[in-house]
């Protein structure tokens, strides 16, 4: 009770109602007032010394010597590069996450007395070296100790790469659990920096490598990576940052900030399975027959889609084959050659269109050699065909017959020869192709108006000399014959998509280069004659038994040695042998070109002609496509000796796996819910659906190929880190800055 009275009187004193004569309460007030004055005097002193400590103290990070104008910066934000897909959305190229380790031996915390009495480095570098040795396995712990000691002593720089190896999130976890340098101290104190990188991954090795190209740290250099870079790269963003310490910048909101825009995904025309088969068969043929290089093209007749395109080269010194070297020769679109007899079809078509020739018109080629006095040129056939019809001239690939035809119908005047030339040029086969992968190769064929043109040019052009074209030009012309006379431009790309949704942003249009190659009557005659080449002519033996009824043309040409002519001093004979055709003849869907360059000694038993070297590969490609399209009961070399008790299968498309089970005679009990579900066969008669994710939302990718796994993660907007090669057998989910990251382990 007494204390309550005292407190009430003190309160009254502050209200001015306690009399001054009472000395007890005045003394109490004065003592408390002195305390307040002392605190008020102490506060600015505290502020002053705090500023001094922050400016000059041992752990100072503030920028006392930096102009305020330099503390604002505009930083770039890098967008995510788009992926490249096959025609069935298999991943051909995609960005994945990797990490690198760097060290700053001049980091302030290493010698700061505040941290472990200035012994931060000395106390912890050995366990850090041991952890590095454990995850990298390229040096012993002692070797890493010596390496770190030297860096700390010499201080050669501030951003030193500790290893060229990329590390994974699991490696980072191990380092944090086994080294205080990382687990307890940040990079400003320990000097250890973990840098995140986005690295381009090509999960299919050398399949279509030259077409896909390469995107390196120095930028896109070849292929679609280069030509489609303006779509894939996206648009960089910028944001305002303010520096608050020597190493810390904080992003600032500003009306002028620009959000980065991720690149578009590019969907190509390439079929991954077909591409692999074509490459493998091209390699087999080049090895078996000791060719120098080869190229193959598979076109979709109606659209011009390039379903497969291969380039192979044999190094005779090392006996090694280079397949789809990303910076190597792109023979299919960049190699200009004299095509030989495949060009006969072009002149054959032009002659019929210009002169309305009958296929039954007769030509007596004699013994296969004829001298043309006007051009002082001797024309020779490599086999005797005798007295033949115009149709048989093409079927039997007679040089003499073609030369006789152009001389008989178009040699009376220069204007007549020019008229034939105009028809050929009107086809569009001599124009530069503006493809998705740029090529500046201009076909060459002298016109009668050219100052260097001669009558010998007129004669030799009729059977494919004195004219230079790329294989793609030749394939495009035959594709037009197959496509009822409509010439479409070959294309590598069908659409562009938004990365995480696969929403189609833009579709590539089918571009018609020539809507009407020739009259229907001419087209019909040409198609009949090309069918005759396979049924009765130069391709009959090598294409016998082809599962599709085909039409096409063989071609063999000596390769010019410039001013030295067509022979070499060494006695080696350089040839380019090719076959180009389409199938099935009733409703053509595919056009295929195959060509090899050889250099054999005269009289060598090794094949060099288009019929012997290239037609067999054409047949293999046609048969492969036939088997793929008719696989339900017509698979080659499938034998079930006994029904296994258990099936081990990779994850795959449900329809494909059900087909396997049906062919092996299993009673498939699983009811397919969607053709896009991913499943695996786990026992006889059972197809077990592969769950896309568990109840926690964790994506289960075990059993997937790398291509399929990356496609799934890309669709979900999840970054991937890849360790190893093969099939996914393990995975780890982690989070960094709020973003999900999955580490895939393959074997």
What number is the average pLDDT over the span 473-500?
95
Q: What is the pLDDT of residues 402-413, one digit of tens each?
A: 999 999 999 999
What are phi and psi for residue 652, nearest 5 degrees? Answer: -160, 180
Confidence (pLDDT) at 674: 43
Q: What is the largest CA-CA distance in the chain?
A: 151
Q: Are 657 and 681 in contact (CB under 8 A)?
A: yes
Distance (Å, whole) CA 626 – CA 619:
10
Which of these ranges, 386-400, 523-537, 596-610, 630-644, has the smallest mean pLDDT?
630-644
User: What are the counts of helices (DSSP H) followed by strands (DSSP E) for the chain?
Assistant: 22, 32
Distance (Å, whole) CA 496 – CA 503:
9
Q: What is the pLDDT of residues 662-717, one digit of tens each?
A: 555 554 444 444 444 444 444 333 344 444 454 445 677 877 777 778 777 776 77
Q: Are 390 and 410 in contact (CB under 8 A)?
A: no
Distance (Å, whole) CA 555 – CA 548:
21
Confidence (pLDDT) at 157: 85
For residue 32, give both structure tokens: 């408390």
What's the half-sphere exposure (Cβ side, CA atoms, 13 Å) at 441?
Answer: 20
Confidence (pLDDT) at 631: 72
What number is the average pLDDT over the span 221-230?
91
For residue 205, give both structure tokens: 């090795």
Confidence (pLDDT) at 19: 45
Confidence (pLDDT) at 289: 92
DSSP-based three-state secondary structure for 70:
helix
DSSP-based three-state secondary structure for 427:
coil
* Percentage above 90 pLDDT, the chain: 51
Distance (Å, whole) CA 397 – CA 565:
23
What number is the average pLDDT over the span 379-395?
96
Q: At which residue do the structure tokens 């796996």 appear?
A: 657
Higher pLDDT, 561 or 640: 561
- The 8-class DSSP code of residue 488 comes to E
Q: Are 297 and 309 in contact (CB under 8 A)?
A: yes
Distance (Å, whole) CA 687 – CA 679:
7
Q: At which residue do the structure tokens 């993660």 appear?
A: 713
- The 8-class DSSP code of residue 560 comes to P
What's the half-sphere exposure (Cβ side, CA atoms, 13 Å) at 448?
Answer: 17
Confidence (pLDDT) at 680: 45
Confidence (pLDDT) at 247: 55
Position 312 pLDDT exceeds 80:
yes
Q: Please report, to the nearest 10 degrees, the dihedral formed by the alpha carbons of residues 498, 502, 507, 510 taken in order.
A: 140
Residue 722 pLDDT class (50, 70, 90 cuts): confident
Confidence (pLDDT) at 707: 76
Residue 13 pLDDT class (50, 70, 90 cuts): very low
Residue 516 pLDDT class (50, 70, 90 cuts): very high
Helix (H) or strand (E) segment spanning residue 496: strand 493-497
Confidence (pLDDT) at 665: 54
Residue 311 Cα distances to 18, 333, 521, angstroms: 107, 10, 37
Q: What is the mean pLDDT of the chain?
A: 82
Distance (Å, whole) CA 500 – CA 162:
35
| CA-angle at 586, arms to 306 and 592, nearest 5° | 25
Residue 258 Cα distances to 198, 239, 241, 255, 261, angstroms: 21, 6, 13, 8, 9
Residue 256 pLDDT class (50, 70, 90 cuts): confident
Q: What is the pLDDT of residues 95-109, one digit of tens each?
A: 888 888 999 999 888
Partners of 239 in the β-ladder: 75
Higher pLDDT, 228 or 635: 228
Which of these ranges, 234-243, 372-381, 517-526, has the smallest mean pLDDT?
234-243
Confidence (pLDDT) at 59: 47
What number is the average pLDDT over the span 439-452?
90
Q: At which residue do the structure tokens 């009958």 appear?
A: 358
For residue 468, give both structure tokens: 């230079």
Q: What is the pLDDT of residues 612-633, one digit of tens each?
A: 999 999 999 999 999 999 873 3
What are phi and psi for residue 35, nearest 5 degrees? Answer: -60, -45
DSSP-based three-state secondary structure for 293:
strand
DSSP-based three-state secondary structure for 140:
coil
Distance (Å, whole) CA 48 – CA 74:
33
Higher pLDDT, 527 or 187: 527
What number is the average pLDDT over the span 117-142?
92
Distance (Å, whole) CA 426 – CA 473:
14
DSSP-based three-state secondary structure for 694:
coil
SS (H, E, C) 649-691: CCCEEHHHHHHHHHHCCCCCCCCCCCCCCEEEEEECCEEEECC
Q: Are 125 and 145 in contact (CB under 8 A)?
A: yes
Q: What is the pLDDT of residues 183-197, one digit of tens each?
A: 888 888 888 988 888
Distance (Å, whole) CA 62 – CA 51:
10
CA 744 to chain centre: 20
What's the half-sphere exposure (Cβ side, CA atoms, 13 Å) at 668?
Answer: 21
For residue 373, give both structure tokens: 């006095």
Confidence (pLDDT) at 389: 98
Burial class (CB in 10 A: 0-12, 13-18, 19+), 154: exposed
Most confident of 63-72, 158-167, 579-588, 677-686: 579-588
Helix (H) or strand (E) segment spanning residue 184: none
Long-range contacts, stretch 570-573, CB < 8 angstroms, 24+ apart: 571/601, 571/602, 572/599, 572/600, 572/601, 573/599, 573/600, 573/601, 573/602, 573/608
What number is the average pLDDT over the span 512-536?
98
CA 278 to chain centre: 17
Q: CA Rg, the chain, in Å?
A: 38
Burial class (CB in 10 A: 0-12, 13-18, 19+), 352: buried
């Amino acid at each position: 009770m007494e204390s309550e009275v005292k407190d009430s009187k003190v309160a009254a004193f502050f209200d001015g109602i306690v009399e001054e004569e009472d000395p007890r309460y005045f003394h109490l007030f004065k003592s408390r007032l002195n305390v307040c004055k002392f605190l008020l005097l102490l506060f600015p002193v505290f502020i002053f010394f705090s500023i001094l400590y922050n400016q000059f103290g041992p752990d100072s990070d503030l920028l006392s010597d930096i102009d305020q104008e330099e503390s604002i910066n505009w930083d770039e934000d890098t967008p995510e590069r788009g992926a490249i897909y096959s025609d069935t959305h298999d991943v051909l190229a995609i960005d994945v996450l990797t990490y690198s380790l760097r060290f700053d031996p001049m980091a302030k915390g290493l010698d700061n007395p505040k941290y472990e009495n200035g012994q931060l480095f000395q106390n912890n570098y050995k366990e850090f070296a041991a952890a590095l040795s454990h995850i990298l396995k390229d040096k012993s712990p002692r070797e890493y100790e010596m390496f770190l000691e030297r860096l700390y002593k010499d201080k050669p720089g501030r951003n030193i790469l500790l290893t060229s190896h990329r590390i994974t999130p699991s490696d980072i976890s191990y380092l944090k659990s086994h080294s205080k340098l990382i687990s307890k101290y940040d990079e400003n104190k320990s000097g250890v920096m973990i840098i995140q990188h986005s690295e381009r991954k090509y999960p299919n090795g050398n399949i279509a490598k030259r077409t896909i190209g390469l995107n390196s740290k120095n930028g896109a250099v070849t292929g679609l990576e280069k030509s489609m870079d303006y779509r894939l790269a996206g648009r960089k963003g910028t944001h305002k940052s303010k520096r608050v310490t020597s190493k810390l910048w904080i992003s600032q909101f500003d009306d002028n900030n620009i959000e980065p825009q991720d690149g578009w995904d590019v969907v190509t025309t390439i079929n991954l399975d077909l591409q692999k088969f074509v490459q493998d068969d091209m390699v087999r043929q080049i090895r078996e027959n000791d060719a120098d290089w080869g190229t193959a093209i598979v076109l979709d007749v109606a659209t011009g889609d390039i379903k497969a395109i291969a380039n192979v080269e044999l190094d005779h010194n090392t006996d090694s084959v280079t397949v789809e070297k990303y910076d190597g020769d792109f023979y299919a679109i960049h190699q200009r050659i004299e095509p030989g007899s495949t060009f006969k079809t072009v002149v054959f078509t032009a002659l019929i269109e210009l002169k309305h020739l009958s296929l039954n018109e007769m030509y007596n080629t004699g013994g296969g050699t004829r001298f043309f006095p006007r051009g002082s040129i001797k024309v020779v056939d490599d086999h005797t065909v005798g007295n033949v019809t115009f149709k048989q001239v093409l079927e039997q690939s007679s040089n003499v017959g073609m030369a006789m035809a152009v001389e008989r119908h178009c040699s009376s005047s220069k204007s007549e020869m020019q008229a034939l030339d105009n028809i050929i040029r009107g086809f569009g086969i001599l124009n530069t192709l503006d493809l998705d992968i740029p090529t500046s190769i201009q076909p060459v064929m002298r016109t009668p108006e050219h100052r260097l043109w001669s009558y010998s040019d007129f004669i030799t052009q009729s059977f494919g000399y004195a004219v230079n074209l790329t294989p793609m030009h030749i394939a495009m012309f035959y594709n037009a014959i197959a496509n009822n006379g409509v010439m479409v431009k070959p294309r590598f790309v069908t659409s562009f998509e938004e990365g995480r949704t696969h929403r189609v942003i833009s579709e590539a249009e089918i571009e018609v280069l020539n809507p009407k190659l020739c009259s229907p009557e001419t087209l019909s005659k040409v198609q009949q004659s090309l069918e005759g080449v396979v049924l009765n002519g130069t391709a009959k033996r090598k294409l016998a038994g082809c599962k599709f009824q085909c039409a096409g043309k063989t071609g063999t040409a000596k390769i010019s040695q410039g001013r030295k002519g067509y022979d070499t001093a060494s006695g080696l004979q350089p040839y380019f042998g090719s076959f180009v055709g389409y199938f099935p003849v009733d409703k053509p869907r595919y056009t295929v070109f195959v060509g090899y360059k050889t250099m054999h000694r005269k009289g060598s038993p090794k094949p060099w002609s288009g019929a012997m070297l290239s037609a067999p590969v054409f047949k293999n490609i046609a048969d492969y496509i036939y088997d793929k399209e008719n696989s339900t009961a017509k698979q080659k070399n499938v034998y079930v000796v006994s029904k296994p008790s258990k099936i081990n299968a990779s994850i795959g498309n449900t329809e494909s796996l059900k087909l396997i089970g049906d062919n092996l005679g299993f009673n498939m009990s699983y009811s397919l819910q969607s053709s896009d579900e991913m499943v695996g066969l786990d026992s006889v008669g059972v197809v077990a659906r592969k769950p896309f994710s568990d109840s926690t939302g964790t994506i289960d990718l075990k059993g997937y190929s790398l291509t399929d796994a990356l496609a799934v993660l890309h669709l979900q907007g999840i970054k991937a880190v890849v360790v190893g090669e093969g099939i996914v057998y393990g995975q780890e989910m982690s989070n960094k800055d709020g973003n999900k990251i999955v580490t895939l382990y393959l074997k």
